């Protein structure tokens, strides 16, 4: 039986298990929108700006582990997706972006709303397609989902001319894909795994650095087994938060620029780093030439191009984290590192990075901590970018994979609201809190209308300091307190919420924090709290940009150089 | 230390692949010295020979990045291999009745060919490695070079082993 391109696309999406599409219509995708009502299994969620569609697909993908789908028309619809696609690319999030294109006879003629979106997204997609023949469409969709979700996941874009949606072809969905140039390595090389096991068995002060790759491959149990069997402390990257329970005695929390002091000190003093599904981002390593000077490095990643990119590696292992750890755990000896663990405990007590200072002021760390207590940690936290993101990362204890959803690589302000929409749509039974800043919140504030239209029971905490806070912090610390373009006026968020039909309240007094959070949680539907926090509160600890992560800026505001001392590495 | 590297990429013969490969070199800060693309013994597979300047480590990084392109099947750095490397050049040289025979002598020494003769010019075709073409070029420069076109290097390992 013949089908139109639009029908073939919908049939193919259903076969890939798609249930939700975040989109915004327009001329080039009208034939597709006209077909959507024939497919009630595809729920369409209308966003208010295409950037929101891409972030929502990203948030959905991270919360569910499935592929998120966003849809936009040609031209401006497609270019509005770009930030969201780039965000998904840098954080290895599997999304599929479908864009309409002008009809084939108009391609290359600068037609109305024509833009070369496959050209524009070339460096920010894992792969992309321009479908010029309707009979290719089914196999393109098959390949697209395969590429998006396997190996190192990432965004894939399909650009479909308007007349291809209307063309007809017979529909055969391919059983499998055959891509000569795409065969991810899943199992680690046995000799390398044995070599890694030997280093682990010999190490005296080992540290695991776990990243988002551990979450993507579902390796939390294997990671825990490795850490416990060989008694290895675990630090995570920002996006690795949740791969290892932060309540575990071997958990040191996040490393890097705003990482926990004990995590940074442990990494700096370690004699062996086991880097798992992470990519040595500069925010994690600090000054790379002084990163972990005494350590050998085992690097496990599914992407061969990440190995040796930023730091030299002693034992590279290309493969799926879970598969590699399963094999590695069989080779390692049961061991303790009591001196090392005690040393780290001493650092932890000397530098209590998660301690919240005693004050009557309304400080953001306290707000985050109270959200943690009110939810018992059983929530998905979606953050913006900047101070709010770091406080959310530092003062909530995450125990489950994908419980923190945050824009790591691209650092996209405005990510929080649409990504939280995606998370809530994908995991409707979970409590989802968006933690926003007053700056980023204004970047995607229009998605409040999406929340109202879909009646999504999101809880939103705005940490409102009337500044672009992280930039202001840098201006305070490194630019002589010259606050250029960071003081920020905002609308009355409570009134804005009301205008969108969302319940909201303002909190300016510390004593109101807990009742407000409880009220938000008890409210049946979305709720916004505008927390008027201490305007010049800073995020600590902080590693000054360009410094080694063993150099810590802590409260009180002075530079503390922590000498970790040289360690005996003669047994290596 | 930065040196010249010869990379051979086997790629699927699909639209946009050359753009993807070239754009990746640009993004990662490499300057492509030459690039030559053509068919191979396998239908639907093209072979790109790319010459770039870089340290062994940075070229290895870009090689791995290239392999991430879905249509790229395999990339090898064959710099260290025992190679046959060739380039073809066409050179249009000013020629007068007085200089023509001297030009022909030089062309013979280089085992090059004259493929076009006109009043006032000859077109010389030469194949060889870059050094040979550069030397011929410098000898012909004295006569006045009107135009030159070079293909860039193509290369293949010696012996029975294939670049796969």
ipTM computed for the complex = 0.88
Contacts of A558 (CB under 8 A, 6+ apart): none
Q: Domain A364-532 maps to which CATH number in 3.40.50.10860, 3.40.50.970, 3.30.420.40, 3.40.50.11540?
A: 3.40.50.970
Residues A331, A325: Cα–Cα separation, whole Å: 10
The last residue of a domain, from among B32, B47, B80: B80
Q: Label residue A564 by pLDDT band (50, 70, 90).
A: very low
Is B19 in CB contact (< 8 Å) with chain A? yes
Residue B126's closest CA among B99, B147, B108, B101?
Answer: B108
**Does the residue B163 lie in any domain?**
no
Q: How far apart are the first and last CA of chain A?
A: 68
Tell me if B64 and A179 make a contact (CB, 8 A cut-off): no
Mean pLDDT, range A111-130, rounded to an integer: 97
Q: Are B46 and B67 part of one and the same domain?
A: yes
* Min Cα separation B67/chain A (Å): 8
What is the token pair recorded at A67?
A: 């592929």
Q: Is B58 within 8 Å of chain A by CB?
A: no
Give the long-range contacts of residues B24-33, CB within 8 A, separation 24 or more. Answer: B24/A123, B24/B62, B24/B65, B24/B66, B24/B69, B25/B50, B25/B52, B25/B62, B27/A123, B28/B58, B28/B61, B28/B62, B28/B65, B30/B54, B30/B58, B30/B62, B33/B4, B33/B152
Shortest CB distance from B68 goes to which of A180, A305, A308? A305
- Which residue ranges make up each domain of chain A? 2-170, 190-350, 364-532
- The residue in chain A having the minimum alpha-carbon distance to the alpha carbon of residue B26 is A123
Contact between A181 and B12 using a beta-carbon 8 Å cutoff = yes
Beta carbons of A11 and A3 less than 8 angstroms apart: yes
Q: Which of the 8 DSSP states describes residue A421?
A: H
- Residue A295: helix, strand or coil by DSSP? coil
Residue B164, min C-alpha distance to chain A (Å): 12
Q: Which residue in chain B has the smallest CA separation from A311?
A: B57
* Domain A2-170 CATH class label: alpha beta
Q: Do B19 and A182 touch (CB under 8 A)?
A: no
pLDDT of residue B80: 86
* Chain A residues with beta carbon closer than 8 angstroms to that of B59: none
**pLDDT for B164:** 64
Q: What is the mean pLDDT of residues A17-30?
A: 98
Q: Does B164 touch chain A (CB under 8 A)?
A: no
Span A499-528, average pLDDT: 98
**Cβ-Cβ contacts under 8 Å, A122 against chain B:** 19-20, 23
Q: Return the residue of B nearest to A151 by Cα.
A: B68
List the single residue in A123, A180, A309 with the smallest CB-CB distance to B73: A180
Does residue A541 have a cis bond before it (omega within 30 degrees)? yes
Interface test with B, best of A152, A180, A299, A304 (most B CBs within 10 A): A180
Indicate whether B39 and B17 sit together in one domain: yes
Q: Given 3.90.550.10, 1.10.3720.10, 3.40.50.2020, 3.40.50.1220, which CATH number is that of A190-350?
A: 3.40.50.1220
The C-alpha atoms of residue A188 and residue A532 are separated, in whole angstroms, by 50
Interface subset of B 25-44, CB within 8 angstroms of A: 27
CATH number for the domain spanning B27: value is 3.30.70.260
Mean pLDDT for A419-442 is: 98
Question: Which residue matches tokens 């599409």?
Answer: A21
3-state DSSP call for residue A552? strand
pLDDT averaged per 10 residues, chain B (length 164):
93 93 91 93 95 93 95 94 93 96 96 96 96 95 96 92 76
CA dihedral A200, A294, A318, A186 (to 10 degrees): 40
User: Does the pLDDT at position A569 exceed 60?
Assistant: no
Range of the domain at B53: 3-80
Q: Contact A462/A517 with Cβ under 8 angstroms? A: no
Pairing outcome for strands B113-118 and B45-54: unpaired
Q: How far is A329 from chain B (nearest CA, A)?
A: 28
- Residue A159 CA: distances (Å) to CA of A172, A346, A462, A518, B19: 20, 56, 37, 46, 17
Average pLDDT over residues A168-197: 96
């Amino acid at each position: 039986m013949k089908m139109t391109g639009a029908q073939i696309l919908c049939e193919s999406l259903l076969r890939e298990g798609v249930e939700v599409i975040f989109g915004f219509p327009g001329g080039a995708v009208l034939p597709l929108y006209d077909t959507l009502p024939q497919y009630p299994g595809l729920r369409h969620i209308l966003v208010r700006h295409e950037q929101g569609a891409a972030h929502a697909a990203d948030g959905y993908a991270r919360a569910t582990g499935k592929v998120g789908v966003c849809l936009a028309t040609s031209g401006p619809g497609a270019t509005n997706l770009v930030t969201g696609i780039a965000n998904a690319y840098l954080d290895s999030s599997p999304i599929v972006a479908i864009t309409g294109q002008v009809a084939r006879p108009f391609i290359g003629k600068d037609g109305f709303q024509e833009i070369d979106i496959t050209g524009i997204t070339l460096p920010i997609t894992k792969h992309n397609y321009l479908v010029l023949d309707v009979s290719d469409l089914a196999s393109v969709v098959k390949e697209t989902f395969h590429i998006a979700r396997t190996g190192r996941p990432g965004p894939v874009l399909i650009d479909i001319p308007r007349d291809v949606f209307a063309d007809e072809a017979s529909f055969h969905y391919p059983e499998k894909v055959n891509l000569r140039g795409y065969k991810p390595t899943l199992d680690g090389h046995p000799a390398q795994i044995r070599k890694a096991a030997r280093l682990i068995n010999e190490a005296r002060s080992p540290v695991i650095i776990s990243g988002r790759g551990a979450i993507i491959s579902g390796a939390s149990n294997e990671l825990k087994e490795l850490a416990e069997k060989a008694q290895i402390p675990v630090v995570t990257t920002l996006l690795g938060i949740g791969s290892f329970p932060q309540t575990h005695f071997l958990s040191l929390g996040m490393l890097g620029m705003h990482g926990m002091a004990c995590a940074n000190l442990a990494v700096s003093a370690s004699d062996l780093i086991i880097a798992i599904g992470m990519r040595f981002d500069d925010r994690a390593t600090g000054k790379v030439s002084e990163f972990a000077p005494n350590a050998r490095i085992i690097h496990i990643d599914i992407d061969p191009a990440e190995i040796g990119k930023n730091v030299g590696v002693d034992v590279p292992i290309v493969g799926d984290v879970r598969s590699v750890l399963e094999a590695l755990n069989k080779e390692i000896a049961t061991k303790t590192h009591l001196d090392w663990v005690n040393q780290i405990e001493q650092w932890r007590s000397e530098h209590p990075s998660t301690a919240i200072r005693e004050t009557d002021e309304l400080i953001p760390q306290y707000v985050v901590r109270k959200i943690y207590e009110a939810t018992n940690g059983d929530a998905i936290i979606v953050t913006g970018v900047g101070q709010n993101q770091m406080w959310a990362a530092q003062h909530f204890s995450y125990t489950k994979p994908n419980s923190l959803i945050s824009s790591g690589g691209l650092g996209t302000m405005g990510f929080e609201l649409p990504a939280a929409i995606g998370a809530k749509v994908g995991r409707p039974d979970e409590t989802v809190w968006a933690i926003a800043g007053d700056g980023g919140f204004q970047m995607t504030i229009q998605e409040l209308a999406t929340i109202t239209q879909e009646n999504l029971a999101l809880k939103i905490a705005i940490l409102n300091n009337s500044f672009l806070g992280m930039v202001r912090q840098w201006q305070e610390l490194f630019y002589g307190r010259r606050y250029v373009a960071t003081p920020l006026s905002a609308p009355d968020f409570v009134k804005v919420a009301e205008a969108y039909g969302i319940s909201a309240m303002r909190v300016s007094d510390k004593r109101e924090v807990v009742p407000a959070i409880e009220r938000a949680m008890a409210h049946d539907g979305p709720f916004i709290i505008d927390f008027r926090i201490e305007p010049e509160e800073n995020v600590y600890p902080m590693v000054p940009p360009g410094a080694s992560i063993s150099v810590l800026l802590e409260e009180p505001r002075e530079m503390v150089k922590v000498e970790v001392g040289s360690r005996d590495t003669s047994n290596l | 230390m930065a040196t010249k590297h010869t990379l051979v990429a086997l790629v699927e013969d699909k639209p946009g692949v050359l753009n993807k490969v070239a754009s990746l070199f640009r993004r990662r800060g490499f300057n492509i010295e030459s690039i030559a693309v053509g068919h191979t013994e396998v239908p639907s597979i093209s072979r790109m020979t790319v010459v770039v300047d870089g340290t062994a480590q940075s070229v290895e990084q870009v090689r791995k990045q290239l392999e991430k392109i879905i249509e790229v099947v395999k990339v090898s750095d064959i710099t260290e291999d025992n190679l046959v490397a060739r380039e073809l050049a066409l050179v249009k040289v000013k020629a007068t009745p007085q200089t023509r025979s001297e030009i022909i002598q030089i062309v013979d020494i280089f085992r090059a060919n004259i493929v076009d003769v006109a009043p006032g010019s000859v077109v010389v075709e030469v194949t060889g490695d870059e050094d040979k073409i550069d030397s011929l070029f410098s000898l012909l420069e004295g006569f006045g070079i009107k135009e030159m076109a070079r293909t860039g290097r193509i290369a293949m390992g010696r012996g029975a082993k294939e670049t796969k």
